[in-house]
Copies of this chain bind each other. A is one copy, B any other.
Amino acid sequence: MQGNRKSVKTGVRMQDVAARAGVSVMTVSRALSDPDKVSEETLKRVRAAVDDIRYVPNEMAGNLSSRRSKAVGLIVPNINNSLYSSTIQTISTALRERGFHLMIADSGLSLENEELAITGFLAQRVCGLILHNTQHTARARELISQIDVPTIEIGNLTEEPLDQCVSYSNFAAAKAMTVHLGRLGYRRIGFVSLALRNNDRAQIRYQGYLAGIEELGLPQDLSLAIETESGLQGGADALKRLLASHPETDAIFFAADVMAVGALFECQRRGWKVPSRVAIASFDDVDLLRHVVPTITTLRIPREEIGRRSADMLMARLEGRAMPKVMDLGFDIIHREST
């Protein structure tokens, strides 16, 4: 198995199928891509030949010749994050059902990495791009518009998408949760976020929080908003810091990831009751939140639907069907025991 990589691997070609079926190459091509255009008898023989010699079409050659491709490029900040991977999963399924392939890259929140990944995808001549980011380098924007690839942005609702946008408003969601906490009677509402630097979505959520505080008519205290690391540990750390500096805090809105759960565990360790000592709210309805004790109030972001709809929109574009530039899929507040 390991050897003989020197010999030129020609592989089974369409020509071999044609010879075996006693037809021309073109007929084989048609039989495979558009069976209706070929007589039943011919079709049968071609299929038999394909089966006999285990022919697998060379899609690259087909793409080159037809100047089309069936590969879609997807760029997310991080593959190893259940929020993104649920979207990946949905997109993957939707594409496969229609005979398309998915290529994935991650940008790690760096615009330069995103540009690199975009270039890579364009070199592969993908037929469409799905980008979680809504910020891009100037060169990335230029390349996309020059090559003119349909592009769907999915990480945040923007008024001026590169091309099209399927998402929800991070601003509105963060504001809504803040107002929700205020209406429940909490007055000192803390906000915990991932690092704002180089993270426009985190920044926008922060703006939403501030807008919520303002709408509630509460005093604006910027020291109630802090940044922390991602993950359970980050949540625990943030809770400790915030309650050390502001013991009067009566609710904390953790605006990312599973930080809220980490904070809850820290409360359990300290024997603090949630929500009587401090209320906890989260962003994104991960499974965990409805299983912990107490269950945690959160925002449900329609991650799967964003995946499905963005794939739909891409397909529609490729078929020339008109589609709205911007699609807002909204969010819901899920009220649970922690608030």
B residues in contact with A79, CB < 8 Å: 85, 88-89, 92
- Over the window 297-322 of chain A, the binary record of Cβ atoms lying under 8 Å from chain B Cβ atoms (1 yes, 0 no) is 00000000000000000000100101
A5-B320, A102-B103 known; A143+B54 contact, CB < 8 A: yes
Chain A residues 46-93 with CB under 8 Å of chain B are 54, 56-61, 63-64, 67, 69, 71, 78-82, 85-86, 88-89, 92-93
Give the shortest distance, in Å, between A100 (CB) and chain B (any CB).
10
Decide if A60 touches B56 in the complex (CB within 8 Å). no
Question: Is A200 an interface residue when CB atoms closer than 8 A count as contact?
Answer: no
Question: Is A292 an interface residue when CB atoms closer than 8 A count as contact?
Answer: yes
A104-B102, A231-B287 known; A147+B56 contact, CB < 8 A: yes
Question: Is A106 an interface residue when CB atoms closer than 8 A count as contact?
Answer: yes
A101-B124, A124-B101 known; A9+B293 contact, CB < 8 A: no
Number of interface residues of A (CB under 8 A): 67
Output the residue of A5, A233, A269, A291 with the most chain B CB within 10 A: A291
B residues in contact with A54, CB < 8 Å: 142-143, 146
Give the shortest distance, in Å, between A303 (CB) and chain B (any CB).
10
- Over the window 112-140 of chain A, the binary record of Cβ atoms lying under 8 Å from chain B Cβ atoms (1 yes, 0 no) is 00000001101111000000000000000
B residues in contact with A233, CB < 8 Å: 291
Question: Is A40 an interface residue when CB atoms closer than 8 A count as contact?
Answer: no
A101-B103, A102-B103 known; A58+B123 contact, CB < 8 A: yes
Complex: A11 Cα to B68 Cα, angstroms? 12
Complex: A96 Cα to B88 Cα, angstroms? 19
Decide if A287 touches B232 in the complex (CB within 8 Å). yes
Question: Is A186 an interface residue when CB atoms closer than 8 A count as contact?
Answer: no
Question: Is A148 an interface residue when CB atoms closer than 8 A count as contact?
Answer: yes
Specify which of B60, B88, B145, B261 is in contact with A60 (CB 8 Å cutoff). Answer: B60
Output the residue of A2, A88, A106, A262 with the most chain B CB within 10 A: A2
